[in-house]
């Protein structure tokens, strides 16, 4: 906070879970009380609205009134017209861009503190409409802050738009092309120049109790084991037909390695398309595979990982505790939620991309699926009900929906991973949902990871585990350390999910029966 009040226009790039919202609210109150500003405008993803409202109530009480800017253009205009001193307006990125002219008028009549939350989302180096709109608004703001635990998901270039929001005349960056050249040629010098205007609290400074990781093996059996081996066989046939090593790698990538992860988790996911990973339902020329898929589940067979997860949940529930269960595949979330509800009879909630982020998003294009959430349910309301359950409860969700701007640590200290992809950043960020500032010093945080075996031999899960172990050492340094460094992720999350070139090489050797 002292840094924010001294440097005025600053970036808070502290690690996820470090209390950036609370620190920023304290800064805002100080500015409001000193008369520097009389209005606070927060622009961020819809998922951040609820945390801002809750933190404002807890941290500053009646000193600031939060208001969501949602609805039609006319409704939003009415909100701007009724804005008064000490309001905190919450806007999504699309709203800020669409309402740029109305907001510019508002910034003329008020002394505004502009806060851009999860600012890495406006990192696009060229093109886009969010960053230019925010830079124009920043020119009229009296105080400017950007917040992100991952300010450089792809490269040092990701800082350009964020720094231009802080200093919209380009004082920190120079021209776009000049900044790109500096990042390429001497990134350390760029960091040295911007450090007076950014702060970063490492995870080690939060005083959090360590979390414990427990590995469990689930032996695939019956039809699921047959399906997994048939999927493996399909990949082996494809790479056998490829002439060179490079051709084999390319063939493997085209075949979508994530299919192996699906088979190891729950073959039922093959019966529906996956929009997030852009996977169609499987319609294979092999009658043997299609017969197994058609019959799977009809005999009551439960996927091995799901069965083991239910056992883990039972022991957690017997202690009266809550647990979040992660899976990357929406169809598996649907199946697992039904399994838990039917077999355990304890409250089980589900969040995925079909559940709208906030209450004001219910009538937008993001509509809740009636079987996933009830009428009027949002991610906010589902999480609130889960956390407020007086006894044991289960939250079933995917990292794509809940790995950012979500806090579960107040009453949930257990996580089960039904599956993981090669995306290390998404995995570590999901752990941060229950391992963050505010935990009691004696809290016991337990992470349960379920890996599949077939006839006692390792599956693709072992390759993912090895890859994540290797990546996490560097990734944790980047995500949780004090240094400001790019993470080097892909623009497309599905690319990271299916592995790097090195990951594909190891998968190819696994399929060929070769060691490293």
The answer to whether 305 and 264 have CB atoms below 8 angstroms apart is yes
Cα 375 to Cα 240: distance, rounded to the nearest angstrom: 51
Same fold, 2-201 and 210-217+303-462: yes
Q: Is the pLDDT of residue 278 over 80?
A: yes
Per-residue b or e along 219-256, where b marks 16 or more CB atoms closer than 10 Å to that residue's CB: ebeebbbbbbbbbbebbeeebeeeeeeeebbebbbebb
Q: How many alpha carbons fall within 13 Å on the CB side of residue 130?
A: 20
Residues 2-201: name the CATH superfamily.
Tandem AAA-ATPase domain (3.40.50.10810)
Q: Looking at residue 4, what is its pLDDT?
A: 67
| Angle formed at CA 145 by CA 81 and CA 427, multiple of 5 degrees | 110
pLDDT averaged over every residue in the chain? 88
Cα 172 to Cα 203: distance, rounded to the nearest angstrom: 27
Cβ contacts of 219 within 8 Å, gap of 6 or more: 304, 452, 453, 454, 455, 456
DSSP string, 163-206: HHHHSTTSTTT-SHHHHHHHHHH-HHHHHHHHGGGEE---GGGG
* pLDDT tens digit sequence for 469-504: 988 877 777 666 666 777 777 777 778 899 989 999
> Is the Cα dihedral 163, 166, 167, 171 positive or negative?
negative
Q: What is the DSSP letter of 149?
A: S
- Using CA atoms, how far residue 46 sits from 357, 405, 503, in Å, is 6, 9, 34
Residue 376 or 442, more confident: 442
* pLDDT tens digit sequence for 358-402: 654 433 434 333 344 454 688 889 999 999 999 999 999 999 888
Residues 210-217+303-462: name the CATH superfamily.
P-loop containing nucleotide triphosphate hydrolases (3.40.50.300)
| pTM attached to this predicted model | 0.83
- Average pLDDT of the segment spanning 150-173: 85
Per-residue b or e along 459-472, where b marks 16 or more CB atoms closer than 10 Å to that residue's CB: bbbebbeebbeebb
Q: Looking at residue 361, what is its pLDDT?
A: 47
- Closest to 415 in 3D by CA, of 397, 400, 401: 397
Q: What is the DSSP letter of 19?
A: -
Backbone angles phi, psi at 113, to 5 degrees: -100, 115
**Confidence band for 283, pLDDT divided at 50, 70 and 90:** confident
**Confidence band for 1, pLDDT divided at 50, 70 and 90:** low
* pLDDT tens digit sequence for 127-139: 578 888 999 999 9
**Residues composing the chain:** 516
- Closest to 105 in 3D by CA, of 78, 144, 137, 147: 137
Q: Is the pLDDT of residue 298 over 90?
A: no
Q: Looking at residue 461, what is its pLDDT?
A: 97
Cα 39 to Cα 87: distance, rounded to the nearest angstrom: 6
- Average pLDDT of the segment spanning 403-407: 77
Name residue, tokens 């924010």.
4
The answer to whether 128 and 122 have CB atoms below 8 angstroms apart is yes
SS3 content of the chain, % helix, strand, coil (to 5): 50, 15, 35
For the chain, the structural domain boundaries read 2-201, 210-217+303-462, 221-299
- Using CA atoms, how far residue 377 sits from 88, 92, 104, 357, 409, in Å, is 24, 19, 34, 9, 21
Q: Looking at residue 379, what is its pLDDT?
A: 87
Residue 192 or 40, more confident: 40
The answer to whether 130 and 93 have CB atoms below 8 angstroms apart is yes
């Amino acid at each position: 906070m002292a840094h924010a009040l001294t440097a005025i226009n600053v970036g808070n790039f502290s690690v996820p879970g470090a209390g950036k919202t609370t620190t920023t609210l304290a800064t805002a109150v100080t500015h409001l009380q000193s008369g520097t500003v009389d209005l606070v405008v927060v622009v961020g993803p819809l998922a951040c609205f609820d945390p801002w409202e809750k933190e404002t109530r807890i941290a500053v009480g009646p000193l600031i009134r939060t208001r969501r800017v949602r609805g039609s253009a006319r409704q939003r205009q009415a909100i701007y017209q009724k804005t008064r001193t000490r309001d905190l307006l919450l806007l999504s990125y699309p709203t800020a861009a669409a309402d740029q002219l109305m907001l510019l008028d508002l910034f003329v009549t008020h002394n505004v503190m502009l806060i851009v939350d999860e600012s890495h989302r406006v990192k696009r180096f060229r093109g886009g409409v969010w960053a230019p709109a925010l830079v124009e608004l920043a020119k009229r703001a009296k105080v400017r802050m950007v917040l992100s635990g991952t300010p450089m998901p792809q490269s040092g270039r990701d800082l350009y738009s964020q720094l231009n929001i802080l200093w919209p005349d380009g004082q920190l960056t120079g021209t776009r092309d000049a900044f790109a050249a500096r990042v390429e040629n001497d990134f350390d010098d760029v960091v040295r120049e911007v450090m007076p205007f950014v702060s970063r609290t490492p995870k080690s400074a939060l005083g959090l109790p360590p979390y414990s990781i427990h590995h469990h093996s689930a032996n695939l059996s019956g039809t699921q084991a047959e399906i997994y081996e048939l999927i493996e066989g399909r990949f082996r046939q494809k790479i056998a037909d490829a002439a060179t090593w490079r051709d084999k790698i390319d063939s493997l990538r085209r075949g979508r390695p994530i299919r192996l992860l699906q088979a190891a988790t729950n073959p039922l996911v093959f019966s529906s398309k996956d929009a997030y990973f852009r996977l169609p339902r499987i319609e294979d020329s092999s009658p043997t595979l299609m017969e197994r898929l058609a019959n799977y589940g009809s005999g009551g067979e439960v996927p091995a990982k799901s069965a083991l997860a239910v056992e883990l949940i039972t022991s957690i529930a017997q202690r009266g505790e809550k647990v979040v269960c992660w899976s990357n595949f929406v169809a598996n979330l649907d199946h697992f939620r039904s399994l838990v509800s039917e077999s355990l009879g304890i409250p089980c909630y589900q969040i995925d991309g079909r559940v709208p982020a906030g209450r004001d998003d219910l009538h937008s294009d993001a509509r809740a699926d009636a079987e996933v959430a009830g009428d009027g349910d949002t991610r906010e309301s589902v999480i609130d009900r889960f956390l407020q359950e007086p006894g044991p409860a289960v939250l079933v969700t995917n990292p794509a929906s809940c790995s950012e701007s979500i806090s579960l640590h107040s009453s949930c200290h257990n996580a089960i991973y039904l599956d993981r992809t090669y995306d290390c950043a998404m995995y570590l960020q999901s752990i941060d949902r229950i391992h963050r500032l505010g935990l009691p010093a004696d809290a016991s945080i337990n992470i349960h990871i379920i890996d599949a075996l077939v006839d006692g031999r390792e599956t693709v899960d072992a390759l993912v585990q090895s890859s994540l172990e290797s990546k996490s050492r560097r990734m944790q340094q980047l995500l949780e350390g004090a240094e400001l460094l790019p993470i080097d992720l892909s623009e497309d999350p599905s690319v990271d999910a299916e592995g790097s070139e090195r990951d594909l090489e190891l998968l190819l050797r696994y399929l060929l029966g070769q060691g490293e």
